[in-house]
Amino acid sequence: MPTIEFQLNGTATAVDADPDQALLDVLRGRLGVTGPHFGCGAGECGACHVMVDDRAIASCDMPMWSVAGKDVVTVEGLGTAEQPHPLQRAFISEQAMQCGYCVSGILISAAALLMHNPSPTEAEVRAALDRNLCRCGSHNRMVRAVLRAASQMATS
């Protein structure tokens, strides 16, 4: 199996992997990074979203060969309890979830949006999150949280 090298949450990472294996499998399996969640395996729900070179993508159908040399960021790379990302703080402030299974993917989609568009409108937030499914109906809280984080990032 070839060695595939990429940046994972800012750390140089090398794994021996089948080039066709999905990034999500490698993250959750060998690398023990369980923030990205399996939801459908077909890129239809967004629970497995990670950022690859600043874009939110579904890691469940992204083959390892396409990650070589790229910069991969999972929810673990956004922030920690000690140093939270503004989005993480805002999701707590807005209590923006019920079960929370979809949240790690949604945080990634939102983070990618704010990198490209630091002050999005509500409609732009909704459009950016439209590939992420939430079954509990916490959408509006999450949209409020993203807008809150954007305004905090603008003033800080």
Partner 1 sequence: MMTPPPAPKLPISLTANPRLSSWVRFTGEGRVAISPGKVEIGQGIVTALAQIAADELEVDMSRIEMIRASTATSPNEGVTSGSLSIQQSGRALRHVCAEVRQRFLVAASERLGVDAARLEVNDGMISGPGNVRTSYWELAGDVSLDHDATAGAIAKSAVKRAVAGHSVERIDIPDKVFARPRFIHDAALPGLLHGRVLRPDISGARLVALDEDAARAIPGLVAIARDGGFAGVVSDSEAAAEAALNALRKRATWSGGEPLPDEDDLAGFLRCQPAQTTIIDTRTTAATRQHARTLRRQYTRPYIAHASIAPSCAIAQWDGDRIHVWTHSQGVYLLRTDLAIVLKLPAENIVVEHVEGAGCYGHNAADDVALDAVLLAKAASGRQVRVQWSRHDEMSHAPFGAAMAIEIEADLDEDNEIIGWRHAIWSNGHAARPGRAAQPALLGATEIANPYPRMISTNPPAANGGGGDRNSVPLYDLPAWTITSHRLLTMPVRTSALRTLGAQGNVFAIESLLDEIAALRGEDPIAFRLRHLRDERAKDVIRAAARRAAWKPQRRSGTGHGVGFARYKNTGAYCAAIAEIEGTDEIRVKRLTLAIDVGETINPDGVVNQIEGGAIQATSWVLKERVRFDGTRITSTSWTDYPILTFTEVPAVDVEIIQRPEVEPVGAGEAAHGPVTAAIANAVHDCLGVRVRDLPITRDRIIAAMELAS
Q: Is 141 in the site for partner 1 (CB under 8 A)?
A: yes
Q: Binding partner 1 by CB under 8 A: which of 7, 13, 21, 152?
A: 21
| The one-letter amino acid at 116 | H
Site string for partner 1, 53-92 (x = CB under 8 A): ---------------------xxx--xxx--x---x--xx
Q: Is 11 in the site for partner 1 (CB under 8 A)?
A: no
SS3 16: strand
Total residues found in the chain within this entry: 156
Residue 34 contacts residue 76 (beta carbons within 8 Å): no
Q: Binding partner 1 by CB under 8 A: which of 73, 104, 112, 114?
A: 104
From 49-57, 63-71, 128-136, 147-155, span contacting partner 1 (CB under 8 A): 128-136
Q: Binding partner 1 by CB under 8 A: which of 69, 117, 140, 154?
A: 140
Backbone angles phi, psi at 3, to 5 degrees: -90, 130
Residue 66 contacts residue 21 (beta carbons within 8 Å): no
Provide the β-strand partners of residue 109.
none
Q: Binding partner 1 by CB under 8 A: which of 41, 63, 65, 66?
A: 41
CA torsion through residues 84, 119, 69, 104, sign: positive
